[in-house]
Chains A and B, each alone.
Chain A
Amino acid sequence: MFLAGSLGAAAACGRKPAPAPGYRFLTQAEVETLGAWVDTLIPPDEDPGARDAGVVRYIDIQLTRWFRRHQQDYRDALAALDRWARSRTGYGFARAPAGEREEMLRLMEQGKADAAWFPGGGKQAFELVLAHAMQGFYGNPRHGGNAGYASWKMIGVPPMPVRGREHYLAAKTFPERS
């Protein structure tokens, strides 16, 4: 409860916690927890995982734009996941073993997360982050995710056709093609 106290005090004074350097909304701790969350959903293998493909940045940008209404959902879910991980493993979610992270997300998907941290079972938060992670990883890089066209390279589709305004974007991203 002491951990939650500092966040609560900040909110009560109307102050928002400081975003991590280079981010608009998420704090340093949240960036790390969310990075581990999305990397569990889309893990790195021979192709980049969600974190390296900029999915956290995509979500952070959209939390100040189209997903503004989900700011508190993220703040609450990331704090709850981290505390649940500490109670289960002794580590924060970002440092918990991969198998534990997968198991926790699986429980959330089934709505069976520990009610002490997720009174509703966690399904809502799970679905929200799953949808946003997939968007950030597979969507157009213009929104901050899919860095270096990571997912498009993975599935084997070419970048934007070199035409009009896209010429400049494509030349920057795929210098070998221009």
Chain B
Amino acid sequence: MPLPKVDAVVIGAGAGGPIVAKELAAAGWRVVLLEKGRWHTPADCRKDDLRNQRNATLGYPFGPEEEGNPRVFVDLDGRERIVKPSEPGYNNNAFCVGGGTLSYGAMAWRYHPDDFRMRSTYAAKIPRAFENSTLDDWPISYDDLEPYYEKAEWEIGVSGDVSGDPFKGPRRRPLPMPPLPPTREHEILEKGARRLGLHPFSIPMLRNSVPYNGRPACMRCRWCVGFACEVDAKNGTQNTVIPTALATGNLELRTECSAREILLDEKGNAAGVAYFDRDGRLWEQPARYVVVSCGAIESARLLLNSRSRLYPAGLGNRFDWVGRNLQGHTYTGANGLFEEIVYDDLGPGASIAVCDWVHGNPGLAGGAMLANEFIRLPYQFVSGIRAPDVPRWGRAHKEFVRHAYRRIIPVQGPTQEIPVFDSRVTLDPRVRDKFGIPVARISGYRHPHTIEVSESMAGRAAEWLRASGAVNVWLRRAGRGVSGGQHQAGTCRMGADPKTSVVDPWCRVHDTDNVYVVDASVHVTNGAYNPVLTIMAIAYRAGERLAREGRRA
């Protein structure tokens, strides 16, 4: 059933879409924001160690629902299986208002200037990173994004102190909030880093360290990453741009609405969106512009599901680039056991980072920011951390947990991945979701050089821990399977050449006048840092330009 036409419909209320929606609504546009999940509030916070967005032992609280939303995962040996959201291979982030930003750890990194020019930086020096890879430069630079990084930092709200990071790109303004006071882990690691001649500093975080934007400061509990914040001190789109946009009176947010396809006219432009509401009724929302912001897996799926005579292989997919280059981050690091108690139960945990190994590693293309980890909840600790000589159960295991829980510091970081053309999202030919829509099929592998860099980063983490006084250090290594998950990116690459990319430097799908993709799908490479601030900056940049130059309905 067709609804009244609006200026823009934005699909997906995660990190990117709501920023575009807010920029447009503030400029007077009539905007509809569709979200597949629900709108949760701080009152929905459950400090549940077994049911959160980082531990789905008993399911995900912030979507998707376990039944009716399958994907297909193809492993390294080519075996395929249908996976539910809580099962390995699904590569879930979140399906809810705010998307991943409701429950993330909230590190607020700007990418390094060289993260935008990986080809220029490494093509001559490290040719093996370019064998069987799609490693390339972005069509935009750090300088293009700098004003929008700043806007995200001030509008959404970032605390921290990056003045001690000599490797960062140039910036005009400091962060709006100071860092939270250091934890015991922070102090121990800071001494070790100085001993090695490194440059430690306080991680920028989308978290209030002081009251900001009318909401309180962090209360420093240990249930942070994976959880909604009980006191609403964690800043996501759900408590910033979405309320701002709704207050203009120009935005309508429709939750529990699942897009089926982008409707296309005979010229190949979008006419609107077809979607199912929570009762399974099919609606058509006509719109002058369509903005796709569903995350790298679902955005690719939606484009591939939007077919017409002009786009038999899916919208934007004339040259077979939609869904390609799926990447995330390869997390590796080390655990260090200390003689003294290092744990002080002060959330969120992650606090100190070094960027000395982001670039400039001899013989390697890229690297990683390394940081101490968010607080390990007891079951997370038990299922993920164990010294190599400790048995998995029995008296000795219990003794290890009792002794070591408060004496271990994990250090890890997101190795920048070398993108691979055959790591990808396609449509599964058989499996459909509860609405009958073909589901995402995920397949591929990590580039060997990604593994090489990540091994080196694990060694660096161990070095840092030893210098900080750890008496026993062991590495955390990575597998070779396809990457994605919470940091999923790359499937609708941004580029100047329509033959080797999906969207232009302003996030417009090359083949169309009026379809935009605004999320990490457009990332050419995914940086050596958590991606969310870059998603937000790109959204501010694309939204501002569309509000200025777009033609309303």
Chain A interface (Cβ within 8 Å of chain B)? 40-43, 45, 47, 62, 65-66, 102, 105, 109, 130-131, 133-135, 138-140, 142-143, 151-152, 154-158, 160-161, 163-164, 166
Contact = CB atoms under 8 A, between A and B. Distances in A.
B194 interface: no
A164 B230 contact: yes
6 contacts: A42-B397, A43-B395, A140-B50, A151-B401, A152-B378, A154-B402
Given A134-B383, A158-B345, A139 B405 contact: no
B379 A155 contact: no
Contacts of B397: 42
A132 B392 CA distance: 13
B392 A130 contact: yes
Contacts of B284: none
A155 B401 contact: yes
A15 to B, nearest CB: 28
A163 B406 contact: no
B221 A134 contact: no
Contacts of A47: 398, 402
A10 B221 CA distance: 50
A163 B230 contact: yes
A164 B397 CA distance: 35
Nearest to B406: A156
Interface in B204-238: 219, 221-222, 230-231
Given A66-B58, A157-B345, A163-B219, A138 B406 contact: no
Interface of B: 43, 45-50, 57-59, 219, 221-222, 230-231, 343, 345, 378-379, 381-383, 392-395, 397-399, 401-402, 405-406
A155 B219 contact: no
Given A62-B58, A140-B49, A42 B378 contact: no
Contacts of A135: 50, 57, 379
A138 B392 CA distance: 14
B47 A140 contact: yes
B382 A138 contact: yes
Nearest to B231: A163
B57 A157 contact: no
A157 B402 CA distance: 11
Contact of A41 (B58, B394, B402, B405): B394
B50 A139 contact: yes
B536 to A, nearest CB: 29
- Closest A-B pairs by Cβ, 4 of them: A155-B405, A138-B378, A138-B379, A41-B393
Name B's interface SS. Answer: loop
B398 A45 contact: yes
A102 B46 CA distance: 37
Given A155-B378, A166-B47, A143 B405 contact: no
A157 B222 contact: yes
Nearest to B46: A142
Contacts of A42: 393, 397-398
A82 to B, nearest CB: 20
Contacts of A151: 378, 401
B379 A139 contact: yes
A65 to B, nearest CB: 8
B230 A102 contact: no
A40 B394 contact: yes
Nearest to A140: B49
A62 B58 CA distance: 9
Nearest to B50: A139
Nearest to A166: B47
Nearest to A127: B392
A152 B376 CA distance: 12
Contacts of B395: 43, 45
B379 A134 contact: yes
A81 to B, nearest CB: 15
Contacts of A140: 47-50
A156 B378 CA distance: 10
A130 B50 contact: no
A177 to B, nearest CB: 14
Nearest to A164: B230
Contacts of A65: 58
Contact of B378 (A102, A109, A157): A157
Nearest to A41: B393
Nearest to A46: B402
B57 A160 contact: no
Contacts of B394: 40-41, 43, 102
Nearest to B378: A138
Nearest to A62: B58
Contacts of A160: 47, 221
B49 A139 contact: yes
A163 B49 CA distance: 17
Contacts of B381: 138
Nearest to B56: A66
A155 B402 contact: yes
Contacts of A134: 379, 382-383
Contacts of B43: 164
Most buried by A among B45, B383, B399, B401: B401
